[in-house]
Structures are given as C-alpha cells and as structure tokens.
Structure 1
Amino acid sequence: MFKFLLVFFLTGSSALPNDGNDPNAICGKWISVHKDYLVQVYRDGNTFKGRTLWFKNKDTSKAMDEWTDKHNPNPDLRGRKLVGINILTDLTYNAKSNSWENGRIYDATKGSFWDASVSMTKDGSLKVTGYWHFKFIGKSVTFVRYNNERLIN
C-alpha cells in the first residue's frame, strides 16, 4: 500500500495540465487564488522564471514598493525591493510529464529556498509546489491567469 501511495504522489495525481505539450503555456501573469500574490512567469533561454509583480501585505506601515528582502541569507541582497525579484527560477519543461521541474522557489518572508515544480490543472490553473526532496511533503499554491483586475493592497 505504501509503495502505491508513494508512486501515486510522485507521479502526480492531477490530469495532464497542458494537452498541447506547450512549454510556454505557463508564461504570463498569474494571481494566487487567495488574491494575495501576483507573479509573472517568463521564459529565460531553456528555463522558466517567475517574478513578483504585486503582493498583499497585512502590515501597511510601508508602501508595497518600499518592502525589501530583509530576510535574504545573502546580506548584499537584503536591500533589494521585493517587487520585481525572481522568486521562481531554473524550471525546465519535462515533455514526458508535461510539467516544469527542477526549479527553485524563494520564500522572502523567511529567506528560504526550496525545490520547486509547476503543473497545470485541467481547468488551466497553475499549481506551484515548493518542497524539500519529496514533492508529496511539500506545499502547493494555486494560481489563476490574471485578468487585469484592480488590485488593492
């Protein structure tokens, strides 16, 4: 039974996201389903990256564009603005699984890096998973295509 569950989680339980096997299907602007994070995913050579465009912050003591990467493990990067940084890097498209794998995701709230993978669901949502060694014990966030709605911080 354990082997079955392990295989089930490692191969992914959702249907193939991108029936056309288009590596660029993840490119564009995506907003989290909680409407608290907006990213732009783009291709950079043979890899894909995602940068922060907007985020909702409970602490309103500063404007969004004033927040810096103060938790970054590299002291030289602690002064950079959070808006515009690449939080998703090094994703490569895997045509066999129709997913984007072997990436890294950065959690600026803690200054932590995690392994990352991305897949698309049947309904066209983007499922971003951050994990440490094993996907099935990671955390996933779902994003939908951004339709240029007004964002309020």
Structure 2
Amino acid sequence: MTPVSLRLAGLALLVGLGAPAHAAPNDPSGLWLTETGKSRVKVVPCGGGYCGTIVSAPGKALDANNPDPSLRGRSVIGVQILDARKPDGAGFSGTLYNPNDGKTYSGSLKLTKPDALEVSGCVLGFLCKSQTWTRTK
C-alpha cells in the first residue's frame, strides 16, 4: 500500500471507531419500555429474528398465571416473552407470552419509528391487540 492509501485506511478506521454504536435503522434490538410504562423488555437478535426477555417489572412480578403450576412462583424477570424469528414483511412474526394471563399468542413485532416498536398478539389469527413500546436508553 502507498503512504496515501495507508493514511486513508487509518482515517477510515478511526472514523468507524469513533462512530456511536446505534442499532441499524430497522433493528429492534435494545431495551424497550412496555406501553403501560411498568415493565422493560430487552430485545436481542435470535434465530434470524428477535427474542425479548423481561428485565424489570413492578411489584413481586411473579408468573402467577403460568399454565404450569410449578412455574407460578417464579419471577417474570428473566422470562422470554417474545420469540419472533420469522421475517414477515416489515417486521417479524412468532409467539408472545403474556404473563398477565399466562397465555401464549401468535404475534409480531415491527419497528414503526427508531424509538417505537409495535408488538401485536393474536387469537385465532385475526383477533389482535397491539401495543407500542418505547425504546429506552
């Protein structure tokens, strides 16, 4: 390499290292505040899509409505509630576990703005309810 190309390569490396580490524009990875503002979910890449785990919740935060009686005394902190591994148009589809009722729904997630994540759960494939989660820092 010539001295000029070495300098350019070095400059490119320094610029790249100094750039802030933000998620890609369509990447929902990060920490999200649920619509109620009471719980936080960490969304990470998994299996070609995204998975989400509860990292904070109010009160005792027990999984009291879990269909498995042996899990009803566990904390919901650390429970994976989102498994959306299938690319689906502008988002991803899969399943959502709702610890409030202990049921698992077919669901989807879609980044609607850099700091807004639409999460939908459906029964019978057409009765759906959506929430908008807000990215937190």
Q: Check whether TM > 0.5.
A: yes
Equivalences for 1:4-153 in 2 at 5 Å?
22=26, 25-56=27-58, 64=59, 66-94=60-88, 97-101=89-93, 103-122=94-113, 124-135=115-126, 137-147=127-137
**Preserved CA contact (<8 Å) 2:46 2:85:** no
Amino acid paired to 1:142: T
Looking at secondary structure, tell me which structure has more strand per residue: 2
Give the Å deviation of 1:123: 5.3
SS of the aligned residue for 1:76 comes to: helix
- Unmatched tracts of structure 1, length 5 or more: 1-18, 57-63, 148-153
Letter in 1 for 2:75: K
Q: Structure 1 residue 32: deviation in Å? A: 2.4
Q: Return 5+ residue gaps in structure 2 as ranges.
A: 1-23
Distance 1:122 1:82 in 2: 28
Alpha-carbon separation, structure 2, partners of 1:93 and 1:78 = 32
CA deviations on 1:128-149 (whole Å, 9 max, x unpaired) are 00111335x31111011102xx
Tell me how far apart the structure 2 counterparts of residues 42 and 108 of structure 1 sit (CA, whole Å): 20
Superposed displacement of residue 33, structure 1: 4.0
How much has 1:89 moved relative to structure 2? 1.6
Contact 1:126 1:144 in 2 (8 A): yes
Residues 78 and 99 from structure 1, CA distance in 2 versus in 1: closer, same or farther, beyond 3 angstroms? same
Q: Aligned residues: percent identity?
A: 26
Which SS does the other structure have where 2:70 is aligned?
Answer: helix
Shift of 1:67: 3.2
Where in structure 1 do 4 or more consecutive aligned residues deviate above 3 Å? none
Q: Tell which structure's C-alpha radius of gyration is larger.
A: 2
* Higher mean C-alpha displacement, 78-87 vs 119-128: 119-128
Contact 1:105 1:115 in 2 (8 A): yes
**What is the deviation of 1:90?**
4.1
Question: Relative contact order: is structure 1 or structure 2 higher (C-alpha 8 Å, sep ≥ 6)?
Answer: 1
Q: Match for residue 12 of structure 2?
A: none
